[in-house]
Structure 1
C-alpha cells in the first residue's frame, strides 16, 4: 500500500468511474456489516466524510440503490456493476468506500476486519453500534 492512507484514488472494475477520496481516519475505520445488503455484497469499507468523495470521471455512469428506510444511498457503476461507495444510514455525513476499488489496496491486505451488527442497526434499536465479530484473513504458507 501507498504511504499516504488519507487521500487515495480509486475506480470501478471497468474504469468508467474514477474518484479521489479523503479518508476520515486512514484505514482505522475499516469494517464490514451484517445487514442483508452488505452481507450479500461482501465489501470491506472505510469511511470518508461528506464531501470526501470526489468523482473525477464517469459520474453519469453511477447509479444508486436504496432499500429498507431508503436513507442509505449505495452507488455502483452501471457498466460493470461494481459498488464503489455509499452514503451511510447511521450517519448521513459519512460515506463508506469499497477498499477493493482503491488503487493499490485489497481487502486481503487487512489481517482483521471488524464486523458491525447491521441486522440490529443502531437506527432501529436506538442503541450504540455493536460489533458482531471479526473477519480474519490468514495467508497460506
Structure 2
C-alpha cells in the first residue's frame, strides 16, 4: 500500500461472500470511478467496479484462495474466491496500473447505492479500437421501490 502517513484517502475493508478472502483498499477517486462494462465477461459478471492503484490493495486473509481467470489476450487478471466464487477485483487491461474492485465486496457499499452507473463500451476493447480511448455504451439506472 502507499505511504499511509501522506495519504488522506479512507481505507476500506472488503471481503468475498464467504469471508475467506479479505482485503483493504484505498480508491483512486472514491466512488466517482464507479462503472460497469459490456464486454463478454462483465456482462455475465454484472458487477459495479471502482478503481484502485495496484499498491493500494492489500490482501489481509485468504491470498491462497484467490483464483486467477484470464481470457482473450490474457492481459487482464480477474480474481475470484475459490470457495464462494465471488469476483473480488481485477487488474485492468486498459489501465494495467489499476485494479477494478467489486463494489459489492466493500464493507458498507452496494451496487444499489448508485442511482446511475456508466457502462463502458467493452465489446471492442479500447486497446483493440482504432484511436483507442474509452467510450460510453450507456447507463445502468437503479431506482428503489418507494414502498
Residues 5 and 27 of structure 1 are in contact (CA less than 8 Å); yes or no, is this contact kept in structure 2? Answer: no
Compute the TM-score of the two structures, normalised by the length of structure 1: 0.95
In structure 1, C-alpha distance between the alignment counterparts of 2:24 and 2:82, rounded to whole Å: 19
Distance 1:22 1:60 in 2: 22
The alignment status of 1:19 with 2:23, answered yes or no, reads yes
Confirm whether residue 53 of structure 1 aligns to residue 67 of structure 2.
Answer: no
Q: 1:75 is matched with which residue?
A: 79
- Equivalent in 93, 118, 140 of residue 135 of structure 1: 140
Is 1:91 matched with 2:95? yes
Structure with greater proportional strand content = 1
Distance in 2 between residues matched to 1:59 and 1:67, nearest whole Å? 21
Q: Mean Cα displacement is larger for which, 28-37 or 125-134?
A: 125-134
- Cα deviation per residue 1:61-113 (whole Å; 9 max; x = unaligned)? 00100000000000000000000000000110000000000001110001000
* Aligned-residue CA RMSD (Å): 1.2
| Partner residue in 1 for 2:127 | 123
What are the Cα deviations for residues 32-81 of structure 1, in whole angstroms up to 9, with x where unaligned?
Answer: 00000000000000000111110000000001000000000000000000
Could you list the runs of 4 or more consecutive aligned residues of structure 1 that deviate by over 3 angstroms after TM superposition?
A: none
5+ long unaligned stretches in structure 1 = none
Q: Secondary structure at the match of 1:70?
A: coil
1:101-120 correspondence runs (5 A): 101-120=105-124
Tell me how far apart the structure 2 counterparts of residues 127 and 70 of structure 1 sit (CA, whole Å).
Answer: 18
SS at match of 1:133: strand
